[in-house]
Amino acid sequence: MTSHAKAPAKVNLQLTVGPVREDGYHPLVTVFQALALWEHVVAAPRADGRITLTVDAAPGAPVAIDAVPTDERNLAWRAAALLAEEYGIADGVDLAITKGVPVAGGMAGGSADAAAALVACADAWDLGATRADLARLGARLGADVPFSLHGHTAMGLGRGDELTPVMTRGEFHWVLATQAEGLSTPAVFAEYDRQVAAGDLEPSDMRARDAIMSALLAGDAESLGAALANDLEAPALALAPRLGAVLAAAEEAEALGVMVSGSGPTVAALAHSRRHALAIAAHLDAARVADAVVTASAPASGTVLVG
Ligand code: C5P
């Protein structure tokens, strides 16, 4: 049976980073919000045990797919292989990915591919896996995979993969300004370590911010905008100084808040309405500070089967 799943991108409303652990990961206190910006994966079982993969950009989506690997380096490919191994599946699968999320952007597009591949393959192979089973496997593929499965708004502890749902009210409107040239997540974390060691960056308290939690509960975009916080912003700006102009342009357009998304280089700006989001996007386009600008509402669902 052919199965089709879609998985959301994310922004981190809070991304607080602690000192690097022995396993090379950093402990996080983060608040994820799922964006209505989707990766689609269609899984068609095949009898010969092989895994094949194709990648396309969604129609109209400003997504450069040239750099996306189509072999075992691809996280969706690894998701299918891990699932087959865990469940003793001899079948293979043809995976067709349609990307709506920018590549290497700090919006977890690759993690969304893995989440969608897990859900599509589990259905296509009729494994009877629960969401909890898939989340456990997802955490082995990457720290952001469990949240893409989960969706909505959630606090993430540990590597960001220990999730607790967060209560929110209403809809939020985001503008995402993307760059053609990606930033490597490990490089941004390494720059964070360097800045802390040099005394240029003060480690923050490893606590959820009350201002973010209460703004979400009240559905208060203005307060949320003021409370956005990303410890990886300074390191991302150090590695990609051109992002300073994107932040400035979003502020000129009176965004309620603006920050580097995750490890960057995407910049996320919060608007008070869909209309305001479109106005900020138009301003960013005119300022020519980003390679592409998209808008997205949030919170979106987690990974779901389509059709
Ligand atoms: O888990 P994922 O493959 O998404 O992480 C990519 C890299 O980002 C890790 O190898 C690590 O260098 C860095 N990372 C980290 N701390 C986290 C998440 C990611 O240092 N909590």
> CA-CA distance, 58 to 56, in Å (whole number)?
6
301 close to 8: Cβ distance less than 8 angstroms:
yes
pTM for the whole structure: 0.96
Question: Is the per-residue pLDDT at 154 higher than 90?
Answer: yes
What pLDDT, on the 0 to 100 scale, is given for residue 119? 98
> CA-CA distance, 124 to 141, in Å (whole number)?
20
Report the atom number in ligand 1 closest to the C-alpha of 160: 21
Pick the CATH number of 172-298 from 3.40.50.300, 3.30.70.890, 3.10.20.600, 3.40.190.150: 3.30.70.890
Specify the residue with its C-alpha closest to ligand 1, atom 8.
Answer: 186
93 close to 45: Cβ distance less than 8 angstroms:
yes
Per domain, the residue ranges of the chain are 3-165, 172-298
> Mind listing the pLDDT tens digit for each residue in 12-26?
999 999 999 999 999
Q: Tokens 């301003």 identify what position?
A: 283
Give residue ranges with CB within 6 A of ligand 1. 24-26, 28, 142-144, 159-160, 185-186, 189
> Mind listing the pLDDT tens digit for each residue in 206-237?
999 999 999 999 999 999 999 999 999 999 99
- Band (pLDDT 50/70/90 cuts) for residue 67 is confident
Higher pLDDT, 274 or 60: 274
Residue 208 has a CB neighbour count (10 Å cut-off) of 17
Pick the CATH number of 3-165 from 3.90.79.10, 3.30.230.10, 1.20.120.790, 1.10.357.10: 3.30.230.10
Any residues with CB less than 8 A from the CB of 255 and at least 6 apart, and which?
175, 225, 269, 270, 271, 280
Secondary-structure percent of the chain, ordered helix, strand, coil, rounded to 5? 35, 30, 35
> CA-CA distance, 208 to 216, in Å (whole number)?
12
Tell me how far the alpha carbon of residue 129 is from its chain's centroid.
Answer: 24
- Catalytic center residues: 10, 144
What pLDDT, on the 0 to 100 scale, is given for residue 121? 98
Tell me how far the alpha carbon of residue 15 is from its chain's centroid.
Answer: 12
